[in-house]
């Protein structure tokens, strides 16, 4: 087949100027490997009837492009002008400078991760965060694992494997991406016992479901939806009292990770409140409202936290060293709520006065010829789904979405919202004035 004879040699493709960057980054061996794979793919496509290129030069360019596409995509910086603060697809929380510094300080050296330097004996990585988690939540003990879904699986496996777990039908949540509570329960080897109705569950429903088989009562915060109207939920206090009377631990998965009540986030459950209400274990994420790295936090009764930490799954779900460093630094900032509001990026974005957000939108609009419009930002990450945060956006005409595409695919990537032929660049989620300047420059370069 002529088309196959026209395929260039590996060496020939490697010297194509379009691959100079790839060769410099991966070295000759890595680049050669990618070019071989690209040639195989192209050969397969031609055998399947793809149109051959007009000449060998064009064929080489096609193969070089395939080789580049086969390389792993680097993580690219994104300017978040979507108005969604805890944006899971964008990595949820940017870290505070203190947390970034802690990661940088620990990353390139050895650390006393699991070694007690005072005695020279083996230690636990939890000593670096456990006492802080306990103090900030008012619990007896605390620990951290890889993420909150992991914390839930681990807690269920450690405290209720082979036993029943009582959950209200109003709290049968899907955490995201098809990850549902019944599935998690099954994986942890616990048996789900649903009680009540979607909109109403009473204390009696729980009480009559408790049997000698009951391992625990689980409360899960319906973080990404709200049941509104004719509803009834059992307060943690009542549930915890029932549990303690009947000798059944109560586990409260609050999801978003508020440590204590926050005037900026009315109605959002907090770990301290849940522990004070009597929950035996509270679970939450490290990278939602806490504004730290991906992590799952477990706080509560010392004996239960100990049991959880000794379960074999704890090893599989353990938090890594860099996240641990970032989590410790973030938790330290939360020791002072005022400081956290200023230093932890997601908290700063949530509490920023509307006037300051609007000021940024005005600067951006003046620089790009856009128009300032009112906007509604969202917390995201499954917190306060029904609450809009007042915000301001710079609106630019973008009927076919071409401007948004150019901004999204450039460097840094810039993400906004397309609404009714307008590109809205929401200024509540911009981290600083430098991002405003970059957006303005990029928008103007696109036109």
The residue ranges that bind ligand PLP (CB under 6 A) are: 147-149, 152, 173, 175, 220-221, 223, 253, 255-256, 285, 296, 382
Q: How far is the CB of 253 from ligand PLP (least distance, A)?
A: 5
- Helical packing angle, 433-445 and 402-409, nearest 10°: 120
Cα–Cα distance for residue pair 268/255, rounded to 1 Å? 10
Specify the 3-state DSSP secondary structure of 188. Answer: coil
Tokens of 26: 């991966």
Return the CA Rg of the chain.
Answer: 26
Is residue 304 within 8 Å of residue 159, measured between CB atoms? yes
Q: Which residue matches tokens 């050669």? A: 32
Closer by beta carbon to ligand PLP, 34 or else 154: 154
Closer by beta carbon to ligand PLP, 21 or else 385: 385
Q: How far is the CB of 135 from ligand PLP (least distance, A)?
A: 22
Q: How far is the CB of 387 from ligand PLP (least distance, A)?
A: 15
Closer by beta carbon to ligand PLP, 206 or else 284: 284
Closer by beta carbon to ligand PLP, 147 or else 328: 147
The number of C-alpha atoms within 13 Å of 353 and in the hemisphere containing its C-beta is 3
Q: How far is the CB of 219 from ligand PLP (least distance, A)?
A: 10
Q: How far is the CB of 383 from ligand PLP (least distance, A)?
A: 7
Cα–Cα distance for residue pair 185/156, rounded to 1 Å? 7
Q: How far is the CB of 204 from ligand PLP (least distance, A)?
A: 25
Closer by beta carbon to ligand PLP, 149 or else 407: 149
Return the bridge partners of 318, or none: 145
- Using CB positions, name the residue nearest to ligand PLP: 255
Q: What angle do CA 41, 45, 47 make, to 5 degrees?
A: 115
Closer by beta carbon to ligand PLP, 224 or else 351: 224
Q: How far is the CB of 259 from ligand PLP (least distance, A)?
A: 15
Is residue 163 within 8 Å of residue 214, measured between CB atoms? yes
Query: Is the bond preceding residue 383 a cis peptide, omega within 30 degrees?
Result: no
Taking CA atoms, 221 is separated from 59, 127, 270, in Å, by 56, 28, 11
Of 301, 195, 295, nearest in space to 240 by CA? 301
Closer by beta carbon to ligand PLP, 221 or else 428: 221
């Amino acid at each position: 087949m002529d088309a196959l004879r026209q395929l260039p040699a590996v060496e020939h493709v490697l010297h194509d100027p379009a691959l100079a960057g790839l060769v410099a980054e991966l070295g000759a061996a890595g680049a050669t490997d990618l070019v071989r794979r690209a040639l195989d793919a192209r050969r397969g496509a031609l055998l399947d009837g793809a149109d051959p290129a007009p000449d060998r030069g064009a064929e080489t360019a096609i193969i070089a492009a395939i080789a580049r596409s086969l390389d792993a995509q680097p993580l690219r910086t994104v300017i978040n002008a979507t108005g969604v603060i805890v944006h899971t697809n964008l990595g949820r929380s940017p870290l505070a400078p203190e947390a970034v510094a802690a990661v940088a300080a620990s990353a390139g050296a050895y650390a006393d991760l699991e070694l007690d330097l005072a005695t020279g004996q083996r230690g636990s990585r939890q000593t670096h965060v456990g006492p802080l988690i306990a103090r900030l939540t008012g619990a007896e003990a605390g620990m951290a694992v890889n993420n909150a879904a992991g914390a839930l699986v681990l807690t269920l496996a450690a405290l209720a494997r082979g036993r029943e777990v009582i959950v209200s039908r109003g709290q049968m949540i899907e955490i995201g991406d098809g990850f549902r509570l019944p599935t998690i329960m099954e994986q942890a080897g616990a048996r789900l016992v649903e009680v009540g109705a979607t909109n109403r569950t009473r204390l009696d429903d729980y009480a009559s479901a408790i049997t000698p088989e009951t391992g625990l009562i689980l409360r899960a915060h319906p973080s990404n939806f709200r049941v509104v109207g004719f509803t009834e939920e059992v307060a943690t206090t009542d549930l915890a009292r029932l549990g303690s009377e009947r000798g059944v631990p109560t586990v409260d998965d609050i999801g978003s990770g508020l440590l204590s009540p926050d005037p900026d986030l009315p109605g959002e459950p907090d770990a301290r409140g849940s522990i004070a209400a009597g929950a035996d274990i509270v679970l939450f994420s490290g990278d939602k409202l806490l504004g730290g790295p991906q992590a799952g936090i477990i706080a509560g009764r010392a004996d239960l936290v100990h049991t959880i930490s000794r379960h074999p799954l704890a090893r599989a779900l353990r938090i890594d060293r860099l996240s641990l460093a970032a989590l410790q630094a973030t938790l330290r900032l939360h020791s002072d709520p005022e400081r956290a509001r200023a230093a932890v990026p997601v908290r700063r974005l949530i509490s920023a006065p509307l006037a300051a957000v609007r000021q940024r939108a005005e600067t951006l609009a003046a620089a790009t010829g856009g128009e300032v419009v009112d906007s509604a930002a969202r917390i995201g990450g499954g917190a306060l789904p029904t609450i809009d945060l007042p915000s301001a956006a710079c609106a630019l005409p973008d009927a076919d979405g071409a401007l948004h595409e150019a901004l999204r695919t450039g460097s840094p990537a810039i993400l906004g919202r397309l609404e009714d032929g307008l590109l809205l660049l929401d200024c509540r989620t911009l981290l600083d004035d430098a991002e405003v300047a970059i957006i303005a420059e990029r928008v103007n370069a696109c036109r």
